[in-house]
């Protein structure tokens, strides 16, 4: 039996390649499909089928790409789409001698399907649960608007308690997402899990009544605006790429000329960005692109990339997974070539937590902006006197940030702070400081922390990147 | 015939793997010998011999490593060494049906040998000229002290004009170094060359009298102090590594504790270093390590590495090629983890050339330090009012740099400036600025340039890194 | 959390690399340890510990190699060994914030330990069960002689029913072996499993009384003679390799000269071996080396390799995992160079099942030798009139095979038949034929099959290679 | 300066990637263009131009593919083609600061251009000579029919003696082909060469009169029929592939069903093919595909592949370079799966030279067929009594081979003999034997050899594969 889980870092997305004999199937493929082709090829298998658990909202499905490149059939959930064929509840899909049995498990989406894998002897062995059941979490039910949240939560309760849990503790559970995905509020970093482990450990499965479960699910999560674009692409079928795009290398002058009509995305680490960047550039460190590019980049305008050196393949991969295909080129030679061309750059001030403390002690004017999510504040505490705007909300709440006082930005580590700083600078702020090490540094240095009270605002997914990069 | 040239970037070192049948020979191997083993293995050849043209002074020879790992014999020039056997003038070494004929070509070193490769039909085809003849250059003759320069220059003249040139224009010329090596003053970026091309284009071969040639060779080149260590290691035989060392990942606290007795080498790009670094760290961008680590790192004290992230293999490879083997570990997670641990960092101010110009226009106090080499000044011109100390001379001439005026450091691009800045800061300077883009940026922005007059000081090799990284 | 399973093909051996923060631990490492070093390095972790579940008998443990190359501590089961320190029942080993709790689970060996992994929140999550519990199987209990089988089987029962099963259905089960290992009679091809899946599906866990279980475990399995060498090496600690050995390329003449005192192992596919091989060579197709080299190669005599071309790395890796380190070289250029050197080769006749059938129909004299294992016969049936000697038993039962009648050898596919044929030819047999496709081909062609009755002889492990290569 | 030579093994084709700044150009690109994209990408360069020296006849040009994938302009020789633009004599193409100057050097083709590369300082440095001048050879002049041979030879003489030789001895010479190409009769294995080395060593440049040169060039070379297809594809522009095709894995039954209407190409080594192959399959060992597939495969019928195992990428790459794009699939699992499916296979008898000698000594009836080329016979001698038909001529001369006597086939090593054997068997011959080791083995065993007299038939190119694989 071929059974391989493919992880897409950043999206925290899991897809699965299963196969038997000469036939393989991919469950919830991503858009850069080379990895499936290579594994199948090495095993002498053809990819006969791409199976979707539901219409994804956080990444562009790779089913259409896979079909275009291998002739695979697309089998999908009942959620509306203009390609593939919808699977029926109870229908069995064969993969060699293996069998995938479709289970309707609505809630995250109305048409959401899970697939129960039976081995060649007919014994059930694993459940591909899509976004219905995740490690320590369940899929969010707020994607179709507040009006349908309760209905979908109730459906999800039934899916979980009457369809999935009865399958028994022993089954391997194979969800579509791991820790760090925005598709669930607080997915755990549990490398593999089982239905039984979730029954015992998953807080969402501890309710004994549907009403309690539904009540707990009404807290809305953040709804990234790019989800709508994902939704549309996954309904219509995204453009076929053929291969990973290779953007053009551009000279500094070419970038300078194009920078106005385009959006410059700089994926270097925050220290490099701090010291010098193209004026107006957006900072998102590379591993943060899957989580944040959709929030802050426009789908309409061309994208220019700045990386450390010339290897933009990582950034490109992340962008096309989000359908951000309009990458027109990158600054060849990086910022070094920019400066050698005698062009102007901007910089962003940074401080360590100690330096900030010194300034506070000296009574310097300081406006502290904490861009962590509400749930992080709740869990980890807050810095006394800090103002809280989650980084994703910043574009809409710029008016709350003063222009005449130095702003000191905190996040978990300093990474997201630089996104915020680059947004403020682009909007004309001039006295912006990023606090290096962020809340982690503040706590490590044993500076004072307050307990945060719960706030009645949409909470973000627990993490938008590997936990240690927050 | 197997004929492969292996380039060691940064050192601009060429070694050659030649073979026939099942037998291969390496000429002037480097210390990280895996590449030879792999190529030979793929071809079904055993490396029977390591051949040295001379005792190298700019890198640790890999002959001993190769012998330890393959049982290869070591055949070397007559220059003193305590291993291998010296080859005789005229002696023929067979490599399958090929033949390497030893030619004594003294000058760069007294015992320097070149090797004339005859193909299987007995026709001469290529000359491995070591450091005797290079593209547009010849090997320096000042390594044995001023007292012997003239004698060695005369020997080199004879080697070039009476031994090498008579071999004819047609032969492929295979030197031990390419552009960027400190073993010749101004080696050209000519990917492959021939004796004829050198006869026509090499300025050193245009002399018609020995005395003129000798006269032109008396200008001393810089003598990096680490050359003595290379020399000793290549005399005694360096320690056998067995494999590329894998330094230990260290936590921020472990690094902080060890930083005092060790030397911290930070190989990130200069912008990252500028924004934040461990106080006291030495900055050498990764590609600059081969050219500068030997100047500024001690062979006695342990080395701790800081890179972008966790991949130190590039830096380690560069260091062990210089015999800098005492690498005790690296900061795992890079500066991000340092700041998350709440530790203090330092930063270095940077300015663009425009900003510097503005400050000059406003009459701000400015002390410009140009750390390019004398030959660069001569070729490219100088910034009006700048003080010149080549970066390699800075540790011995710190007294010339004022502490009470802001210092603005120029090099070609901003890379070497950061080395200088880190040296100054370690010595207590506090108002140090690196000019981003350096002289290239200054020139691109069309700011004024003066012609530099020739200066009677030791000149550096033309470049200590790829030309565009100066 | 770092959690990676490393599969050693052929041995069907699983080792596990787990880590948290900067600390990693390997459970039951193999001897070619590069893979652990690379994964840990990429993650910025140091391997602090190698943990053994028991003293292995089917491969050489990599703990000593890992300790030599990383400084890792060795923690092992109570089974006698002259290195590392024995772990205590109930003892907790920390791996960053993770915790491995030792459970004494004797049976397969008296000192066998399993390790229960608790996640950072303290919840048990996975059990590293070594050879105690495998997919559809349990570890064999006959390794210490018939006299102790019953005692060990009783211990194993208690370990399984009173120590492992009570941990609950939900836990991920991480055994040391998968399908194809000789450490269990009939391990299933279940890529991942749980305690619950085993409780339901594992035939060994269906007994309700200890006596029944013990009774069912008395059927002895084959005891490969090389297990003793493994045992000794794993007691004393095997020699440290430093790196994967790279055997010397040899000319045909060199191989011919050395062939007498050495043993020639030819790992090409059976068709290549059939057409021409060095007289006296042993045939084991590459993927079969882990399962069969230990049976038929001597640890005392040097080994010479013949492969298709020059890439012997796969064969070398398989051999050193078994401690077969005396690899003196390989035939460079393969059999093509042998024949070009004008040397004599031998060949082995092959027939398709159809051709064999035709000969049977024509009444030609035929002696059919079936070298499959007893359990395969039992499961799959037998060819009418075939004589059964399991391939592993052939050297001791040569006397049963006639020399004056053409022998036609069957196995599952034709692979093991060629081992048998090469053994017979080396012993002087001249009229040996390998049946291509073996029993699979016979059955596919719908030729007659008899049901085999159970035989009271030691049964082999279910497979000694991937199922489809039998 | 970027300067990289890319070798396509088998075709013995050299293409060159040169670049400066951010601009790169490929000279005579092959059709699988990934390698150019990767090197350019790593260097931060865009491929702005594909340059052709002439319309190739031995492989499909990659210019159209490169243009489709990168937007590169196509600049080509004046030889008729329906794409790109013809370059003018004397025209300069810039590649960053480098300059390629076009030189009309007709002879191999009427419009053939060479390109003189000037470095950034304007010094000529290398000549890309296409097929005009090769190591020890010149391009053949017989491609346009006997009627034009003399005219083209005269043109070539002028190109060589009046255009190329005057450029001087010192220049690096960069031809489009190395040893083993069918584009020249006897190209030497000289890894790099210069105009001077050719002036001295190249037999074709030793003539002092044009008439002598022309006279020596009238000996026609073999004209592979597939050259016409190459010619047509390179005139019209071949189909764009987008990426390397990945043929479908097929079950034995699927292959068996399709085998009739398709052509089965088996690229395993000859021993594997000898023991068992699909009846009717054509044998060409993998490295021999570039040289022989065009001779024996039809462009009209679909191709099915059989390899050792499942990795057909090497064979596919070779085939598409020849425009043999109709690859419909491959036998997944190789011949092992074929036999396990119970299908019939054929085999080919082999003998060692000793065994053949014994049969000759015993007076057995033997008809020896030597399929080496005429020039090999001339150089190496012949086996007494052997009949000579070059392998490429065999399909048209089958009538000369007896059906009632055992045929023993010789080539250089046994590789080409198997092509011949498979051709005979497909045509119904039943008593065919391949002599393992071929002429090399015969000579190594010191069996008698006769001197061959020159024969007035078309001679083949010197080698159709690496010399040691003949």
Give CA–CA dist A19/A455, Å, rounded. 47
Comparing A146 with D3, the larger pLDDT belongs to D3
pLDDT digits (tens, 9 = 90+) for B291-313: 999 999 999 999 999 999 899 99
Above 80 in pLDDT, residue D248? yes
Segments forming the whole domain that contains residue C284? 249-340
pLDDT digits (tens, 9 = 90+) for A292-345: 999 999 999 999 999 998 999 999 999 999 999 999 999 999 999 999 999 999
Pair (C63, C205) in one structural domain: yes
Structural tokens at position A441:
């540094």
Q: Report residue D467's pLDDT band, with 50, 70 and 90 as the boundaries.
A: very low
Chains in touch with C (3+ beta-carbon pairs under 8 Å) read A, B, D
CB–CB contact B249 C45 (8 Å): yes
pLDDT at C412: 96
CB–CB contact C251 B22 (8 Å): yes
C240 touches chain D (CB under 8 A): no
Pairing of strands C73-76, C46-51: parallel
pLDDT at A243: 85
pLDDT digits (tens, 9 = 90+) for D174-197: 999 999 887 777 899 999 999 999
Is residue A374 a part of any domain in this protein? yes
B399 touches chain C (CB under 8 A): no
Paired residues of A127 in beta bridges = A116, A173
What sign does the dihedral A380-A272-B296-B244 (CA atoms) show?
Answer: positive
Boundary residue ending a domain (A176, A206, A236): A236
Q: Is C363 helix (H, G, I), strand (E, B) or coil?
A: coil
D340 touches chain A (CB under 8 A): no
Residues contacting residue A463 through CB under 8 Å, at least 6 positions apart: A179, A180, A470
Is residue B39 a part of any domain in this protein? yes
Q: How many CB pairs under 8 A join C and D?
A: 146
| pLDDT above 90 coverage of chain C, percent | 88
Model confidence, pTM: 0.92
* DSSP label of D398: G
- What backbone torsions phi and psi does residue A137 show, to the nearest 5 degrees? -145, 175
Angstroms from B181 CA to nearest CA on chain A: 22
User: How far is the CA of D126 from the CAs of C397, D16, D171, D195, in angstroms?
Assistant: 71, 12, 5, 9
- What backbone torsions phi and psi does residue C136 show, to the nearest 5 degrees? 65, 10
Angstroms from A86 CA to nearest CA on chain B: 45
Nearest to A192 among C172, C196, C200 (CB): C172
| pLDDT above 90 coverage of chain D, percent | 88
Environment class of A430 (CB within 10 Å of its CB; exposed 0-12, middle 13-18, buried 19+):
exposed
Give CA–CA dist A238/A61, Å, rounded. 8
- What backbone torsions phi and psi does residue D355 show, to the nearest 5 degrees? -65, -40
Pairing of strands A327-331, A303-306: parallel
Of A61-65, A427-431, C457-461, D253-257, which gets the smallest average pLDDT? C457-461
* Helix intervals (H) in D129-288: 146-158, 195-201, 210-216, 226-236, 252-258, 270-275
pLDDT at B251: 94
Angstroms from D392 CA to nearest CA on chain C: 22
Structural tokens at position C170:
């939900």
Pair (A267, A414) in one structural domain: no
A165 touches chain D (CB under 8 A): no
pLDDT at C262: 97
Phi/psi region, residue B237 (left: phi>0; alpha: psi -120 to 50; beta: rest), is left
Residue numbers in D near A309 (CB within 8 A):
44
Is residue B242 a part of any domain in this protein? no
Q: Is A175 helix (H, G, I), strand (E, B) or coil?
A: strand
Domain count, chain D: 3
Give CA–CA dist A195/A202, Å, rounded. 10
Phi/psi region, residue C249 (left: phi>0; alpha: psi -120 to 50; beta: rest), is beta
Pair (B280, B318) in one structural domain: yes
Best to test chain C binding among A171, A172, A194, A200 (most C CBs inside 10 Å): A194
Pair (B69, B134) in one structural domain: yes
Is residue C311 a part of any domain in this protein? yes
Pair (A17, A76) in one structural domain: yes
CATH of the domain at A93: 3.60.15.10
Is residue C241 a part of any domain in this protein? no
Angstroms from D334 CA to nearest CA on chain A: 10
CA angle, A271 as apex, A266 and A277 as ends, to 5°?
A: 40
Give CA–CA dist B322/B57, Å, rounded. 10
From chain B residues 352-391, the ones with a CB under 8 A of any chain A CB are 352-355
Paired residues of B351 in beta bridges = B435
Boundary residue ending a domain (A340, A362, A382): A340
What sign does the dihedral A99-A104-A105-A110 (CA atoms) show?
Answer: positive
* DSSP label of C167: G
pLDDT digits (tens, 9 = 90+) for A207-224: 989 999 999 997 778 888
Give CA–CA dist A351/B275, Å, rounded. 9
Above 60 in pLDDT, residue C464? no
* DSSP label of D175: E
Angstroms from C251 CA to nearest CA on chain B: 8
Residue numbers in D near C341 (CB within 8 A):
437, 440-441, 444
CB–CB contact A271 B272 (8 Å): yes
Residues contacting residue C300 through CB under 8 Å, at least 6 positions apart: none
pLDDT at C375: 86
Is residue A241 a part of any domain in this protein? no
Residue numbers in B near A444 (CB within 8 A):
340-343
Angstroms from A156 CA to nearest CA on chain C: 22
Is residue A137 a part of any domain in this protein? yes
pLDDT digits (tens, 9 = 90+) for D373-428: 998 999 899 999 999 999 999 999 999 999 999 999 999 999 999 999 999 999 99
CA atoms lying within 13 Å on the CB side of residue D213: 26
pLDDT at A453: 66
Give this complex's ipTM: 0.92
CB–CB contact D246 A41 (8 Å): yes
Is residue D369 a part of any domain in this protein? yes
* Helix intervals (H) in A312-467: 313-321, 334-340, 353-361, 374-380, 415-426, 438-444
Pair (C201, C303) in one structural domain: no
Q: Is B162 helix (H, G, I), strand (E, B) or coil?
A: helix
pLDDT at A242: 87
CB–CB contact C197 A170 (8 Å): yes
B270 touches chain A (CB under 8 A): yes
Above 90 in pLDDT, residue D461? no
CB–CB contact A22 D46 (8 Å): no
Residue linked to tokens 């010094």: D123
Give CA–CA dist A196/A176, Å, rounded. 18
Give CA–CA dist D470/D460, Å, rounded. 13
Average pLDDT taken over every residue of chain C = 93
Pair (B65, B195) in one structural domain: yes
Above 80 in pLDDT, residue D364? yes
CA atoms lying within 13 Å on the CB side of residue A162: 12
Nearest to D41 among A42, A246, A251 (CB): A246
Pair (A56, A107) in one structural domain: yes
Pair (A143, A75) in one structural domain: yes
Give CA–CA dist B447/D77, Å, rounded. 46
Pair (D146, D266) in one structural domain: no
What's the rounded mean pLDDT across residues D159-185? 93
Nearest to D243 among A243, A246, A249 (CB): A243
From chain D residues 85-144, the ones with a CB under 8 A of any chain A CB are none
Phi/psi region, residue B174 (left: phi>0; alpha: psi -120 to 50; beta: rest), is beta
Residue linked to tokens 């360590």: A352
pLDDT digits (tens, 9 = 90+) for A119-165: 999 999 999 999 999 999 999 999 998 899 999 999 999 999 999 99
Angstroms from B276 CA to nearest CA on chain A: 7
**CA-based max dimension of chain A:** 74
What crossing angle do the helices spanning A289-296 and A313-321 adopt, rounded to 10°?
60
- Can you state the percent helix, strand and coil of chain C, rounding each to 5? 35, 25, 45
Environment class of B100 (CB within 10 Å of its CB; exposed 0-12, middle 13-18, buried 19+):
buried
Residue numbers in C near A201 (CB within 8 A):
123
Give CA–CA dist A76/A67, Å, rounded. 13
Comparing D189 with A186, the larger pLDDT belongs to D189
Pair (D184, D80) in one structural domain: yes
Nearest to A45 among D42, D43, D249 (CB): D249
| pLDDT above 70 coverage of chain C, percent | 96
* Tens-level pLDDT at each residue, chain B (470 residues): 999 999 999 899 999 999 999 999 999 999 999 999 999 988 999 999 999 999 999 999 999 999 999 999 999 999 999 999 999 999 999 999 999 999 999 999 999 999 999 999 999 999 999 999 999 999 999 999 889 999 999 999 999 999 999 999 999 999 999 998 877 778 999 999 999 999 999 999 999 899 999 999 977 788 888 999 999 999 999 999 988 888 999 999 999 999 989 999 999 999 999 999 999 999 999 999 999 999 999 999 999 999 998 999 999 999 999 999 999 999 999 999 999 999 999 999 999 999 999 999 999 999 999 999 998 999 899 999 999 999 999 999 999 999 999 999 999 999 999 999 999 999 999 999 999 999 999 999 999 999 866 554 444 544 333 333 33
CATH of the domain at A384: 3.40.250.10
Give CA–CA dist D419/D415, Å, rounded. 7
Pair (D398, D296) in one structural domain: no
Boundary residue ending a domain (B186, B209, B236): B236
Give CA–CA dist A330/C162, Å, rounded. 63
How close are the terminal C-alpha atoms of chain D, in Å?
A: 38
Closest by CA to C367, choosing from C412, C416, C410, C414, is C410
CB–CB contact A194 C170 (8 Å): yes
Residue numbers in B near A336 (CB within 8 A):
269-270, 413-415, 437, 469
Give CA–CA dist D38/D45, Å, rounded. 10
Give CA–CA dist D63/D15, Å, rounded. 11
CB–CB contact D469 C336 (8 Å): yes
B243 touches chain D (CB under 8 A): no
* Helix intervals (H) in A60-114: 63-70
Nearest to D352 among C268, C345, C446 (CB): C345
CB–CB contact A339 B347 (8 Å): no
Average pLDDT taken over every residue of chain D = 93
Nearest to B170 among D1, D189, D196 (CB): D196
Structural tokens at position A19:
């196969």
B170 touches chain D (CB under 8 A): yes
CA nearest A19 in C: which residue? C191
Give CA–CA dist D434/D411, Å, rounded. 9
A244 touches chain D (CB under 8 A): no
CA nearest B201 in D: which residue? D123
Residue linked to tokens 């209407």: D261
Q: Report residue C183's pLDDT band, with 50, 70 and 90 as the boundaries.
A: confident
pLDDT at B467: 35
């Amino acid at each position: 039996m071929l059974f391989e889980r493919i992880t897409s870092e950043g999206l925290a997305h899991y897809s699965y390649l299963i196969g038997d004999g000469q036939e393989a199937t991919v469950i919830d493929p991503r858009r850069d499909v080379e990895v499936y082709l290579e594994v199948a090829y090495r095993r002498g298998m053809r990819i006969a089928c791409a199976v979707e658990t539901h219409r994804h909202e956080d990444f562009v499905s790779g089913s259409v790409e896979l079909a275009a490149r291998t002739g695979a059939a697309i089998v999908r959930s009942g959620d509306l789409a203009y390609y593939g064929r919808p699977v029926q509840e109870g229908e069995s899909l064969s993969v060699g001698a293996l069998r995938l049995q479709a289970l309707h498990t609505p809630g995250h989406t109305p048409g959401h399907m899970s697939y129960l894998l039976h081995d060649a002897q007919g014994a059930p062995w694993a459940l591909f649960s899509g976004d219905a059941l995740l490690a320590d979490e369940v899929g969010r039910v707020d994607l179709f608007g507040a009006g349908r949240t309760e209905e979908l939560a109730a459906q999800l309760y039934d899916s979980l308690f009457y369809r999935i849990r009865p399958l028994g503790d022993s089954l391997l559970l194979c969800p579509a997402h791991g820790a760090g995905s925005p598709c669930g509020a607080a997915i755990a970093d549990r490398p593999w899990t089982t239905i039984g482990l979730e029954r015992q450990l998953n807080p969402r499965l501890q309710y004994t009544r549907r009403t309690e479960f539904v009540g707990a699910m009404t807290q809305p999560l953040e709804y990234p605006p790019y989800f709508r674009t994902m939704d549309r692409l996954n309904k219509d079928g995204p453009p076929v790429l053929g291969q990973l795009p290779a953007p053009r290398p551009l000279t500094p002058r070419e970038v300078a000329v194009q920078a106005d009509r385009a959006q410059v995305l700089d994926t270097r680490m925050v220290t490099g960005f701090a010291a010098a960047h193209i004026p107006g550039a957006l900072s998102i460190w590379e591993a943060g692109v899957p989580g944040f590019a959709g929030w802050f980049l426009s789908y309409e305008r061309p994208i220019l990339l700045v990386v450390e050196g010339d290897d933009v393949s990582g950034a490109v991969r992340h962008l096309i997974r989000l359908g951000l295909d309009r990458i027109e080129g990158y600054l060849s030679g990086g910022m070094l070539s920019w400066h050698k061309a005698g062009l102007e750059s901007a910089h962003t001030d940074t401080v360590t937590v100690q330096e900030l403390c010194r300034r506070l002690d000296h009574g310097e004017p300081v406006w502290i902006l904490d861009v962590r999510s509400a749930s992080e504040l709740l869990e980890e505490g807050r810095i006394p006197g800090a103002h809280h705007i989650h980084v994703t909300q910043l574009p809409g709440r710029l008016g709350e940030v003063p222009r005449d006082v130095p702003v000191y930005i905190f996040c978990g580590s300093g990474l997201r702070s630089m996104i915020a700083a680059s947004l403020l600078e682009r909007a004309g702020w001039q006295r912006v400081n990023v606090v290096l090490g962020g809340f982690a540094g503040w706590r490590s240095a044993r500076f004072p922390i307050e307990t945060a009270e719960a706030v009645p605002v949409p909470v973000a997914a627990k993490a938008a990147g590997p936990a240690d990069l927050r």
